[in-house]
């Protein structure tokens, strides 16, 4: 094992409350949308690509209006995340610091272009990651983006850490072991390893010589 590729939402952080505020600030301007979105609405979309999210959240809108609403919401979301951030899971930075001393770290998330950059900007964690990818930049599936990261960075033996069935399928597509983050948003039936907290990655993959276990 030479590297770890991470999902973002439900694995490294929980951004839902900030995203919810951003989206509700925009949809109130559209009279076709009769009610605000809720946290459970967003939890049900974790792991989906943006087009799938738009259909799930706004099934009654025609495609042109839905596309406009989603664009406005995503633009607002990036501003909110840059200003307010999300909720990091416990010990994230300490764990990333320890892992980065032994492994190359990356992010592959099903998000729009600019989302991971907003995460970096608020939480100042970019220094631990060597590269990232998302369908907003490439138009590819998560599995294809994992493969792209592997090829682009000449990785020989990576693992993927995520929290949804989609993450599991993406890892399988890319041919890499899957570590299931049980504390996240999804339910997964098959995995190679599982963690109940983000800090358990240190117990699994960092030897005592590399630093004390959290």
Tell me the per-residue pLDDT of 49-82, one tens digit each, with 9 for 90 and over.
888 888 999 998 999 999 999 999 999 999 999 9
Same domain, 9 and 58: no
Rounded CA-CA distance 143/159 in Å is 12
pLDDT band per the 50, 70, 90 thresholds, residue 209: very low
**Structural domain boundaries, residue 54:** 16-84
Same domain, 114 and 160: yes
In angstroms, the Cα distances linking 133 to 60, 171, 213 are 31, 14, 30
Same domain, 68 and 105: no
Tell me the per-residue pLDDT of 142-171, one tens digit each, with 9 for 90 and over.
999 999 999 999 999 999 999 999 999 999
pLDDT band per the 50, 70, 90 thresholds, residue 213: very low
pLDDT band per the 50, 70, 90 thresholds, residue 199: very high
Give the list of residues 6+ apart from residue 133 with CB closer than 8 angstroms, or none: 106, 107, 108, 140, 145, 146, 148, 149
Same domain, 72 and 142: no
CB 11 within 8 A of CB 129: no
Rounded CA-CA distance 106/52 in Å is 24
Examine the pLDDT at 44 and tell me if it is beyond 90. no
**Domain end: 84, 107, 136, which one?**
84
């Amino acid at each position: 094992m030479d590297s770890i590729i991470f999902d973002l939402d439900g694995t490294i952080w929980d951004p839902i409350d900030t995203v919810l505020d951003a989206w509700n600030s925009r949809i109130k301007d559209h009279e076709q949308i009769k009610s605000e979105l809720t946290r459970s609405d967003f939890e049900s979309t974790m792991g989906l690509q943006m087009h799938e999210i738009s259909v799930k959240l706004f099934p009654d809108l025609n495609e042109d209006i839905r596309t406009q609403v989603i664009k406005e919401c995503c633009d607002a979301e990036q501003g909110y995340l840059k200003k307010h951030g999300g909720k990091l899971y416990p010990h994230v930075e300490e764990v990333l610091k320890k892992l980065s001393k032994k492994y190359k770290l990356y992010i592959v998330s099903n998000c729009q272009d600019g989302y991971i950059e907003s995460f970096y900007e608020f939480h100042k964690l970019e220094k631990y990651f060597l590269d990232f990818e998302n369908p907003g930049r490439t138009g590819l599936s998560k599995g294809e983006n994992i493969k792209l990261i592997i090829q682009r960075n000449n990785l020989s033996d990576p693992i993927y850490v995520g929290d949804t069935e989609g993450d599991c399928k993406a890892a399988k597509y890319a041919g890499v072991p899957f570590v299931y983050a049980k504390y996240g948003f999804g339910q997964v039936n098959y995995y190679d390893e599982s963690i109940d907290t983000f800090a358990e990655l240190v117990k699994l993959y960092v030897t005592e010589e590399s630093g004390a276990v959290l």
